[in-house]
Amino acid sequence: MATPKAAARLNELGQSAWLDLIGRKLVREGGLKRMIHEDGIRGVTANPAIFEKAIAESDEYDEQLAALAVEDKSPLEIYERMAMNDVQNACDVLRPLFDATEGADGFCSLEVSPLLAYETDTTVVEAQRFWKGVDRPNLLVKIPATVEGIPAIRQATALGISVNITLIFSVKVYEQVIEAYLSGLEERHAKGEPLAQIHSVASFFVSRVDSLIDKKLEALGTPDSKSLLGTIAVANAKEAYQLYQKTIDSPRWKKLEEAGATRQRPLWASTGTKNKAYKDTLYVDELIGKDTVNTLPLPTLQAFNDHGLVADTVTLGVPEARRQLKKLGELGIDLEEACRQLTKEGVVLFEKAFGQLLHVIDARASAIRHKRQVRWQEALGRREAEGEAAIASAREGKLGARLWNRDVTLWSSEEKHQAVAKNRLGWLEVHRKMKEHLAEITEFAKAAKERFDHVVLCGMGGSSLCPDVLSRVFGKQPGGLDLRVLDSTAPDAVKNAIAGFALERTLFLISSKSGTTTEPDSFYRHYRSLAKADQFVAITDPGSDLEKLARSEGFLKSWPNPADIGGRYSALSFFGLVPAALLGLDVAALLEEAEHIALVSDAAVPPRDNLAVRLGALLGGLARKGPPSAANKLTLVLSPQLLPFGGWVEQLIAESTGKIGKGILPVDGEPLSKPSVYGDDRVFVSLSLQDEHDDRHDGAVDALAKAGHPVIRWQLPSKNSLGGEFLRWEIATAIAGAVMGLDAFDEPNVTESKEKTKALLGAAKGGTLPAEEPSLRANGVAVFASAAHANILSKAAGTLGPEATRSPAHWLAAHLALGEPGDYVALLAYVVPDDGLHAELRKLQGSVRDVTHLATTSGFGPRFLHSTGQQHKGGPKNGIFVELTVDGGADIAIPGQPYGFATLFAAQARGDLEVLIDHGLRALRLHSEDGDPGKLFELVREAARLIGKPE
């Protein structure tokens, strides 16, 4: 017969080992029953921290939590239902032991809300409710030994409720707890009510006493103080046990015991050793004795079974313990005061744990309801195995939790990358920070509306894309300003930005994180020559050159944006919210939506229901193989009112993932078509407003899924939901980067075109760029390419006859025909942007896609340099680039610079082409010499016709 384990042998000495742990699988799958038989476990205790860990880190509660979430139960209701269910089941497993020992053992505890620790009457009411709800004789209701809790203990005892008194640190308080128990029994006995069914334990906390007292002793630093290290907790507990023995020897107790009362045993709590310098079984070895309980965390139980000392020790060394307690006082350390501090801290810790527990439940329940509300659907088709593997990887790697914990090892093991990431995660909490500035933002917008009718936002990339989305999706609201976003250096774009505006009634927002970005700086220089300084507002990082300029020039306002947010993650910061307020939008509603997405994307929500983490894991997982076998073309399918949102997503994904030869290519703007025109490299994300339901649109998306293309789709209840979508996509992008092994926050190639532009401007004479000779000129169109590539295109075109050799359309057709499965086409239009041309570009995307079967993107220059340029240069080398350029209108001077906007615009177009060529990429530039972009668009259509008829 095997020797009983050490914990089981404690029973021989009159001590009961209770397990400080509860979990659904432990109870339901036989673990607790096994521990009763093998480890001698005779009871179970639990607290909010234990429940929180079980619910957050396991799937044990998923089924019940989901059912209660659908019933729309509150977090507190869900917790209580699950906790009571667990406690009932544990009580049932322990019931045979309870019956066999005639109520001496076999208990499970359930804690009254720590939020009621200082409320006597409410605690009693809750104790009654729990006692009735669980309806098990071997339940102990936990009540803390606070000043208000002690009378609640007496009342609960008098009502016939068995109580586990928690948070006892002081012998004096323990004496009050004993008095409360005796008084409650006496009150009950006086009424002629039975006592035998009432049970109680007094939980005397141990290790926390040493944790606090040791710090005080170490601060003294004397030999006498050092000699007491690690001794006071045990000495204090031994003194408490002496009080217990004195109590049960008293005539008062003997009278109650004769009436059937059961002893209130001392329970040693907090017995896990916190100081690694001490033996890990210290608070078990030294406190073994008759009529005691030791509630053991699982690691302590395992350690005690391995090397614990089983002996009657709680009554040993009492004189020495008293000497140590006396010496502590002589050193000027008030143990009673320390115990009061520990009680207060204990309540705070319990409240915090309870709050975290409710938060976890709230997050998980809200995520389940949110998933149903937005009608999330996935059909991964032939990519299902890859998708499941990516989700499993995210779950096992705890990517969501690590993101919220700001674990920079998610993206790189290199210190330089970690340093960047560490200072780029402010967007995780910025929606909460912005709530603190909500009144200020609102008041500013209100005052601005009294003076201004119009606002021109001068920015580029991350500083301008969110406001552009908001202005296009929502439009000017009643009482709001007419907002235009300027992110083009084309002279006519600069002129058009204020066309029809009364200049003196126009506010200019200069938005730049660094404060040195060329485009906003140039816009400011121009408009400052036309308007007063107090018509300007800066949004920038603290301490930037722009902030200094705003101060020295006397700007109307300067908004210092949190510096730990990169431009493309800044939508919910001042960069996005100040323009939103000026438009007249409900900024509070946008932030509430972001707060909701933060909740349902919480670290405690598993990837099954955490849609942000799930989206990121799927996108990263399907793309990580790289072309041509990967599904790395994220194709956005947006309902009409949400179409502008694609431009913001495009930059976020492209700049965050396009680097070191990897990347997810965002495809925004392609018209939806039949499945056969798409390659196997696609993953479709369909996002729509619920009130924009369109059967044809839905049917087309269904067809893609049926054809085996991976499709993810959901719907938004309202436009304000965009406040949450900004955060959802930021989280998803960061997760996708982690899955792909990419640093989602650096942009190693983004400055290359800027530097090339700078060099070209430096070489300009009299503000004019040096002349360049095209590879081909015909019909008012100049074609530019590297010599080698021009030779390839000329030969390919020549196969169709001599005329074709001199035809820009044939050259373009030959260029596009170079594409292979897994490649993509990028149409880069350096033209004066307007809504009509944007619509034409979208049509061109569809035309090229239909004949090449390649993913096709489009963008206006120089915006795309700041949005997709990083993807073009740093991502997979599988792009086919078509630049479409015009002069952009009559030149406009830039004060303080030797060149004007026309030269800057031309230098950006020319510089970007040169960088693409330097990277060995297939790039072609078509320039309309008479400034007509329509001529260029027709060339693309003609090239598509030459390639072949669309299916």
Q: What angle do CA 277, 282, 287 make, to 5 degrees?
A: 160
Which residues are paired to 861 by β-bridges?
none
| Identity of the amino acid at 841 | L
DSSP string, 775-844: SEEETTEEEE--HHHHHHHHHHHHTT-HHHHT-HHHHHHHHHTT--TT-EEEEEEES---HHHHHHHHHH
Q: Are 689 and 715 in contact (CB under 8 A)?
A: yes
Sequence-separated (6 or more) residues with CB below 8 Å from residue 74: none
Cα 933 to its chain centre, rounded Å, is: 43
Tell me whether residue 674 is one of the annotated catalytic residues. Answer: no
Catalytic residue among 5, 33, 53, 142: 142
Q: How many helices (H) and strands (E) does the chain have?
A: 41, 24
Count of positions (residues) in the chain: 951
Q: Are 928 and 886 in contact (CB under 8 A)?
A: yes
Return phi, psi of residue 733, to 5°: -65, -45
- Cross-sheet strand order for the sheet of 377-379: 377-379, 711-716, 682-689, 633-638, 665-667
Dihedral sign (CA 927, 928, 930, 932)? negative
Tokens of 321: 């313990």
Tokens of 805: 């050799």
Which of 50, 53, 56, 48 shows the shortest CA–CA distance to 80? 48
Return phi, psi of residue 875, to 5°: -80, -165
Q: What is the DSSP letter of 875?
A: S
Return phi, psi of residue 580, to 5°: -60, -45
Sequence-separated (6 or more) residues with CB below 8 Å from residue 608: 391, 395, 614
Residue 402 CB neighbours (<10 A): 16
Tokens of 50: 């234990």
Q: Write the Ramachandran bin of 823: left for phi over 0, alpha for psi from -120 to 50, otherwise beta.
A: beta
User: Is the bond leading into 666 cis (omega within 30 degrees of zero)?
Assistant: no
Helices of type H across 41-192: 48-57, 62-70, 75-100, 120-134, 149-158, 171-190
Q: Are 520 and 509 in contact (CB under 8 A)?
A: no
Q: What is the DSSP letter of 195?
A: -
Q: Are 508 and 538 in contact (CB under 8 A)?
A: no
Q: Is 855 helix (H, G, I), strand (E, B) or coil?
A: strand
Helix (H) or strand (E) holding 387: helix 384-396
Q: Write the Ramachandran bin of 103: left for phi over 0, alpha for psi from -120 to 50, otherwise beta.
A: left
Q: What angle do CA 792, 795, 801 make, to 5 degrees?
A: 150
Q: What is the DSSP letter of 414?
A: S
Helix (H) or strand (E) holding 44: strand 41-45
Tokens of 3: 């020797």
Q: How far apart are CA 327 and CA 329, in angstroms?
A: 5
Strands 292-296 and 377-379: unpaired
| Identity of the amino acid at 518 | T
Which of 632, 740, 666 shows the shortest CA–CA distance to 411? 740
Q: Are 593 and 720 in contact (CB under 8 A)?
A: yes
Which of 495, 494, 500 shows the shortest CA–CA distance to 482? 500
Which amino acids are annotated catalytic?
142
